[in-house]
Amino acid sequence: MTEKCDHMKYMDGMEVIPSDMLDEVISAMNAYDYERCSERDVKEALSKDVLTPNDFGALLSPAAAPFLEDMAQRAMNETRKHFGNSIAMFTPLYIANYCENYCIYCGFNCHNKIRRARLTEEEIEREMAEISKTGLEEILILTGESRKMSDVDYIASACAAAKKYFNVVGVEVYPMNSDEYAKLHKSGADFVTVFQETYNSDKYETLHLEGHKRIFPYRFYAQERAILGGMRGVGFAALLGLDDFRKDAFATGMHAYLLQKKYPHAEIAFSCPRLRPIINNDKINPKDVHEPQLLQVVCAYRIFMPFASITISTRESERFRDNVIKIAATKISAGVDVGIGGHSGNKKGDEQFEISDGRNVDEVFKAIERQGLQPVMSDYIYV
Task: With beta carbons less than 8 A apart as the criterion, state whether 208 and 214 touch.
Answer: yes
Q: How far apart are CA 103 and CA 238, in angstroms?
A: 14
Predicted pLDDT of residue 226: 98
Q: At 196, phi and psi to the nearest 5?
A: -75, -15
Residue 382 has pLDDT above 90, yes or no: no
At residue 381 the predicted structure's pLDDT band, cuts being 50, 70 and 90, is: low
Question: 343: Cβ–Cβ under 8 A, 6 or more apart, which residues?
Answer: 91, 93, 127, 130, 131, 335, 337
117 vs 128, higher pLDDT: 128
45-71 pLDDT, tens digit each: 999 999 999 999 999 999 999 999 999
Quick check: helix, strand or coil at residue 195? strand
Q: How confident is the model at residue 31 (pLDDT cuts 50, 70, 90)?
A: very high
3: burial class by Cβ within 10 Å (0-12, 13-18, 19+)?
Answer: exposed
| Residue 99 CB neighbours (<10 A) | 26
Q: Are 239 and 41 in contact (CB under 8 A)?
A: no
> Exposed (0-12), middle (13-18) or buried (19+): which is 285, by Cβ within 10 Å?
exposed
**What amino acid is encoded at 171 in this protein?**
V
| Least confident residue range of 8-17, 92-101, 277-286 | 277-286
The confidence band for 111, taking pLDDT boundaries of 50, 70 and 90, is: low
Fold adopted by 21-376: TIM Barrel (3.20.20)
Q: Is residue 211 over pLDDT 70?
A: no
Label residue 29 exposed, middle or buried (CB < 10 Å: 0-12, 13-18, 19+): buried
- Which pLDDT band, with edges at 50, 70 and 90, does 1 fall under? very low
Q: Is 282 exposed, middle or buried (0-12, 13-18, 19+ CB in 10 A)?
A: exposed
Percent of all residues in the chain with a pLDDT value above 70, rounded to a whole number: 89
| Neighbouring residues of 145: CB distance < 8 A, sequence distance ≥ 6 | 99, 100, 101, 108, 173, 174, 211, 212, 213
Q: What is the pLDDT of residue 358?
A: 86
Give per-residue pLDDT as tens, 118-174.
899 999 999 999 999 999 999 999 998 889 989 999 999 999 999 999 999 999 999
Residue 115: pLDDT over 50: yes
- In order of 56, 155, 183, 290, 300, the CA distances from 42 in angstroms are 9, 44, 45, 21, 11
Q: Which of these ranges, 173-187, 241-255, 330-344, has the smallest mean pLDDT?
A: 330-344
Among 36-40, 111-115, 200-204, which stretch is predicted with the lowest mean pLDDT?
A: 111-115
pTM across the whole model: 0.93
- The whole-angstrom separation of Cα 341 and Cα 118 is 9
Neighbours of 83 (CB within 10 A): 22
Q: Highest mean pLDDT: which of 94-108, 185-199, 349-363?
A: 185-199
| Proportion of the chain above pLDDT 90, given as a percent | 73
Range of 241-245, 252-256, 284-288, 358-362 with top mean pLDDT: 252-256
Mean pLDDT of 185-200: 96
Provide the residue ranges of all domains of the chain, joining segments of one domain with +: 21-376
Over 50: is that where the pLDDT of 16 sits? yes
What pLDDT, on a 0 to 100 scale, did the predictor assign at position 119?
94
- The answer to whether 187 and 229 have CB atoms below 8 angstroms apart is no
**Rg of the Cα atoms in the chain:** 20
Across the range 15-33, mean pLDDT stands at 97
